[in-house]
Amino acid sequence: MRAWFKPLSYAGLILYLVPPVRMAAAWLAHFRGALLQSHGAAPSLSLALLGLVLLLLAGGVHGFGLQPGRDAILGFILAFCCRW
């Protein structure tokens, strides 16, 4: 299934991406050293933020009809079913 109104989906994707991208820029400006450490909460939060941005981009690619829905099944399994 593709987006039913592409211009609206473009705007929605951009609006969804604005807060995480701004937060990532602020974190890099203020806490670059803490984000690059191997321990602590900052690296975990930065990887979670990266995962959110990648998930939003993957959803946009799927919504634009460039990626079939079957490919998302592997991502779901990796994200929610595997215990690292």
Name the DSSP class of 77: I
Confidence of residue 84 (pLDDT cuts 50, 70, 90): low
Residue 67 lies in a domain: yes
pLDDT surpassing 60 at residue 75: yes
Question: Cα–Cα distance between 53 and 84 in angstroms, integer?
Answer: 21
Q: What is the pLDDT of residues 50-68, one digit of tens each?
A: 888 988 888 888 877 787 7
Total domains, the chain = 1
Q: pTM of the predicted model, to two decimals? A: 0.74
Is residue 59 a contact partner of residue 76, using CB atoms and an 8 Å limit?
no
What residues make up the domain containing 29?
6-81
pLDDT of residue 61: 83
Residue 30 lies in a domain: yes
